[in-house]
Amino acid sequence: MKLDSKIPAGEVHEKWTNRKFSYKLVNPANKRKYEIIVVGTGLAGGAAAASLAELGYKVKAFCYQDSPRRAHSIAAQGGINAAKNYQNDGDSIFRLFYDTVKGGDYRAREANVYRLAEVSNNIIDQCVAQGVPFAREYGGLLDNRSFGGAQVSRTFYSRGETGQQLLIGAYSSMMRQVGLGNVELHTRADVQDVVVVDGKARGITVRNMVTGEIESYCADAVILATGGYGNAYYLSTNAKGCNATAIWRAHKKGAAFGNPCFVQIHPTCIPVSGTYQSKLTLMSESLRNDGKIWVPKDAKDKRPPNEIPEDDRDYFLERKYPSFGNLVPRDVASRNAKEMIDQGKGVGSTGKAVYLDFADAIKRLGKDKITEKYGNLFEMYEQITAEDPYKVPMRIYPAIHYTMGGLWVDYDLMTTIPGLYALGECNFSDHGANRLGASALMQGLADGYFVIPYTIGDYLANFKKDKLTVDAPEFKQSAKEVSDKMTRILNVNGTKTVDELHRELGMVLWDYVGMARNEAGLLKAKQMIKEIREDFWKNVKVLGTNEEINQTLERAARVADFLELGELITDDALMRRESCGGHFREESQTDENEAKRDDENFSFVAAWEYKGEGVPEELHKEPLQFDYVKPSQRSYK
Amino acid sequence: MANLNIKLKVWRQKNKEAKGKFVDYTLENITTEMSFLEMLDVLNEKLTHQGEDPVCFEHDCREGICGCCGIYINGRAHGPQQRITTCQLYMRHFKDGETIVLEPWRAKAFPVIKDLMVDRSAFDRIIAAGGFISVNAGGAPDANANLITKHNLEKALDAAECIGCGACVAACKNASAMLFVSAKIAHLNRLPQGKPEREKRAFAMLEQMEKEGFGSCTNTEACSAECPRGISMDVIAETRREYFRASILKEKV
């Protein structure tokens, strides 16, 4: 395998313009002859399906939910970044680019990040034109808020449900194309494999989640926009159905996997309350604009929060990072919360939480203003915890939230399998080792609306149309493998439920491949994951048949893949003997316990190549070069 | 934290064609901190260990925004609390020894496909008929080119809060989708960007609603009362006005 990032020549601000001009075009009349499969209908997939169909391509879109509008992008709360500089506070494309590269701890590609910042403004224009109701000022202009890792206000938002409004925008654009007959929509479709013919991605194998039928679909190019793999950790802020199956299958078919150990742990989630906890709920980072994070100074102080006087509180983020305060990037905020809890200063019944306090902001701005800004988040918090955050500080704890790693892609967003693209969270490309808040929505929509429509044209213009159908042996073979996998799972008929096994995997990953990692722990985790995997194939219990709606079978097939991916996450974390962003190796820290990068040895993207079952994966390195944002020890002090 | 012993009466139906029936289950030591869906997870774990087919129910984000979940609990869409989805319901709202009845959404346009799971694809087809603004990616003017008053924006957003869960249909004695359709019409009509297609949109969406087999609206307001997002009846009034206006203008395409 040879990695060619295809980064265009020229100054960073000219690269995308030059590249767009160099792309071959498909003439309008010919576009309808090309078929493109899009897997996933979140912001990246929905936007891609809509904009490719608008151009005239024939699109087939697939999602596992009952409706494309339910993709997990919908749950994003806080907002979307863009370099509009509407606030006149010194923002620019270059500053957004700079903040993102720095926020990612210098492990992202400069060229990709610059493009992202460049198209960010188009996204806001496009969304407003679609009817996305972003917050406005009294005068009628768009409003902005601040987010972690930035000192300008560049985040556009719709209450605490920006993801929903953006997704409804992308979804309705896509549904318009469905109505026009340009997008063929397949819901309740569990994509199980990518079909490669003569070295090119030509289709997918799908399990129909209603009938259980294994179906094949053929196309000229395949786009994966399937989101992240945070659910490998069992408890996460992801939706229950989020999975890595499509990208993991693609990986096994030859797509390199980039930086799997770069996993983001979000600092502000509602803490775990019991053993049967099924998921963790995020409280938007935007809350850190007005909420103050603290723990009691004395670990033995068990008074209720409102009885602890100011002098006995430790506002640890404000104390340690005076210039960014509560708005330090996510990795820094999470690690510091963990540090407090490890010192025994955690609060709440489990001791695994810190306070996020709004008393000050309510005093300063009034309750009404706080309700207007965060009303639905406060309601959500009260629903879950039965505590009123207007009166008692919220309790928060870090949780798995986002995966910066994903399929390796070149500048055109193509994986190492020609004709296979990866968009949005499922690729590795733009966030380095840590993603800044409000940048996931930006990346998903950038990839879908403004990058893939250009890059895929170049591939298709060079693509020789043939008469391939799903009768080709590669499709039959893939369908058989998928069918065999389902049969194999059903035949185990053991004694452990899928959730029990998944929880075991999650605990291992959280304990040893979570917020702090070290060599001994990682080696142990690797062994434990192997054992859980063996246990799974000996002891999993899945009832029913394949030929019906079988939610347990769906889950089991996903967990089987997480059990393989989990080991790769661990291997990658073992290999990277430096700390950077969300990846904190205890062996590599500064005197002040901050993440210490090792640029000399690890300034590269790790791209892993699958070599077959039971064979160690091969590591390929894409060196990273920084010409515009010079790597320095990241400081938010 | 307290523990509950509860009885469940759950609608079980093997597939679309099969005849369904209620089946009784009992659960012990359910903690009040558990969510309603986590209680069902516990039931399903128990059933699996006993070799019985787990109960099929729809869920995904489990934080009240994706619109997947929807169970008719004790005769109420999304259960006894207001302005929440099923996944946001917690066991602390139930009493020890209580019997809880679980049914799927019942509507001709939402056929049951297994147990508590229904097919809501009719909603997607209504959106495909006209629930959008026809703009392609690429040609949008600057986002601040159109001034939108804060008031109008907030009103549009109130309507745009709909998550498409279908509780409005389930709660309605006519199984009408009027609140769902009207929320979308109001969201777009309340914004200047949505004005150019307003007449066409109202016709197309209402026509599709009828085609899908949803009933007519008789203003009983059950939909709005059970809507987890609190969408107001105003949107229905606006839609009626829009339909009337469009009929006079004869803008039907």
- Residue-level pLDDT at A378: 93
Instruction: Name all contacts of A377-383 with Cβ < 8 Å and 24+ positions apart.
Output: A377/A77, A377/A160, A377/A283, A377/A284, A377/A287, A379/B83, A380/A281, A380/A283, A380/B63, A380/B64, A380/B88, A381/A270, A381/A283, A383/B64, A383/B84, A383/B88, A383/B90
* Residue of B35, B66, B110, B211 best to disrupt the A interface, most CBs of A under 10 A: B66
Active site residues of A: 330
- Token pair 């009493």: residue: B95
- Residue B1, pLDDT score: 59
Angstrom distance (rounded) from CA A496 to CA A502: 10
Nearest CA in chain A to B114: A549
Of B60, B117, B194, the CB nearest to A70: B60
The pLDDT score that the predictor gives to residue B111 is 98
The residues near B153 (Cβ < 8 Å, ≥ 6 apart) are: A133, A134, A135, A136, B191
| Distance of residue B156 Cα from the nearest chain A Cα, in angstroms | 7
Sign of CA dihedral A156, A158, A162, A164: negative
CA distance B169 to A633: 56
Cβ of B45 within 8 Å of Cβ of A497? The answer is: yes
Which residue shows structure tokens 């808020």?
A: A145
Nearest to A172 among B64, B83, B132 (CB): B132
Say if residues A44 and A447 touch (Cβ distance below 8 Å).
yes
In this complex, do B120 and A67 lie within 8 Å of one another by their Cβ atoms?
yes
- Which among A125, A273, A551 is the nearest to B141, CB-wise? A125
Residue in chain B nearest A168 by alpha carbon: B160
Buried b (16+ CB within 10 A) or exposed e, A486-503: beebbebeeebbbbbbbb
Q: How far is B74 from chain A (nearest CA, A)?
A: 20
Q: Do A140 and B56 touch (CB under 8 A)?
A: no
Which pLDDT score, from 0 to 100, does residue A14 have?
98
Alpha-helix residue ranges (DSSP H) falling in B60-160: 121-130, 150-160
Q: Which residues contact B144 (CB under 8 A, 6 or more apart)?
A: A86, A141, A142
Residues 6 or more apart in contact with residue A161 via CB below 8 angstroms: A77, A376, B65, B161
Closest-CA residue of B relative to A157 is B157
- The dihedrals phi and psi of A12, each to the nearest 5 degrees, come to -60, -35
Q: How far is B231 from chain A (nearest CA, A)?
A: 14
Min Cα separation B174/chain A (Å): 23
- Interface predicted TM-score (ipTM) of this complex, two decimals: 0.97
Instruction: State mean pLDDT over B208-235.
Output: 97
Size of interface A-B (CB pairs under 8 A): 213
pLDDT for B251 beyond 80: no
B-chain residue closest to A138, CA distance: B150
Q: Is pLDDT at B59 greater than 80 in this prediction?
A: yes
Nearest-CA residue of chain A relative to B158? A133
Q: Do A384 and B90 touch (CB under 8 A)?
A: yes
Q: Do residues B248 and B188 make contact, with C-beta atoms less than 8 angstroms apart?
A: no
- CB burial of residue A454 (10 Å; 0-12, 13-18, 19+): middle
Q: Check: CB of residue A222 under 8 Å from CB of residue A414.
A: no
The angle at the Cα of B38, spanning B37 to B39, to the nearest 5 degrees, equals: 85
Q: Do B143 and A47 touch (CB under 8 A)?
A: no
The overall average pLDDT reported for chain B is 96
Q: How high does pLDDT run on average in chain A?
A: 96
The helices-and-strands tally (H runs, E runs) of chain B is 8, 7
Residues B11-23: tens digit of each pLDDT = 999 999 999 999 9
The single-letter code of the amino acid at A87 is: Q
Contact partners, residue A6, CB within 8 Å, separation at least 6: A410, A411, A412
- Which residues, including other chains, have CB under 8 Å from residue A27's CB and lie 6 or more apart? none
The residues near B167 (Cβ < 8 Å, ≥ 6 apart) are: B70, B77, B78, B85, B105, B223, B226, B227, B228
Candidate from B35, B37, B58 with C-beta closest to A66: B58
What the block records as the tokens of A278 is 């099924």
Q: Measured between alpha carbons, how far is A165 from A170 in angstroms, rounded to an integer?
A: 9
CA atoms of A599 and A606, how far apart (whole Å): 14
3-class secondary-structure state, position A270: coil
Residues of B in contact with A176 (CB under 8 A): 128, 132, 134
Percent of chain A with pLDDT over 90: 92
Residues of B in contact with A126 (CB under 8 A): 135, 137-138, 140
Give the integer Cα–Cα distance in Å for A481 and A476. Answer: 9
Q: What are phi and psi of A394, to 5 degrees?
A: -65, 150
Give the pLDDT of residue A635: 78
CA distance A263 to chain B (A): 19
Judging contacts by C-beta atoms under 8 Å, the chain B residues touching residue A383 are: 64, 84, 88, 90
CB contact under 8 A, A279 and B63: yes
pTM above threshold 0.95: yes
Query: Is the confidence at residue B170, as pLDDT, over 90?
Result: yes
- Give the helix/strand (H/E) hosting A172: helix A162-179
Cα separations in angstroms, A387 against A272, A393, B64: 15, 9, 18
pLDDT at residue B252 tops 60: no
Cβ contact (<8 Å) for B153 and A135?
yes
Distance from CA of A467 to the nearest CA of B (A): 31
The pLDDT assigned to A483 comes to: 98
Give tens-digit pLDDT for A480-523.
999 999 999 999 999 999 999 999 999 999 999 999 999 999 99
Phi then psi dihedrals of residue A74, to 5 deg: -60, -25
Q: What is the mean pLDDT of each run of 10 residues along chain A (637 residues)?
A: 96 98 95 97 98 98 98 94 97 97 96 98 98 97 89 93 97 98 98 98 98 98 98 97 98 98 95 90 88 96 95 96 91 92 92 95 95 87 93 96 98 98 97 95 98 98 96 98 98 98 97 96 98 98 98 98 98 98 95 90 98 96 97 83
Q: What is the pLDDT of residue B2?
A: 79
The packing angle between helices A162-179 and B121-130, to 10°, is 80
pLDDT score at A90? 96
The residues, any chain, with a CB within 8 Å of residue B12's CB and separated by 6 or more, are B20, B21, B22, B23, B55, B115
Cβ neighbours of residue A191 closer than 8 Å, sequence gap 6 or more: A39, A62, A64, A204, A205, A206, A226, A245, A246, A249
Residue of B nearest to A68 (CA): B124
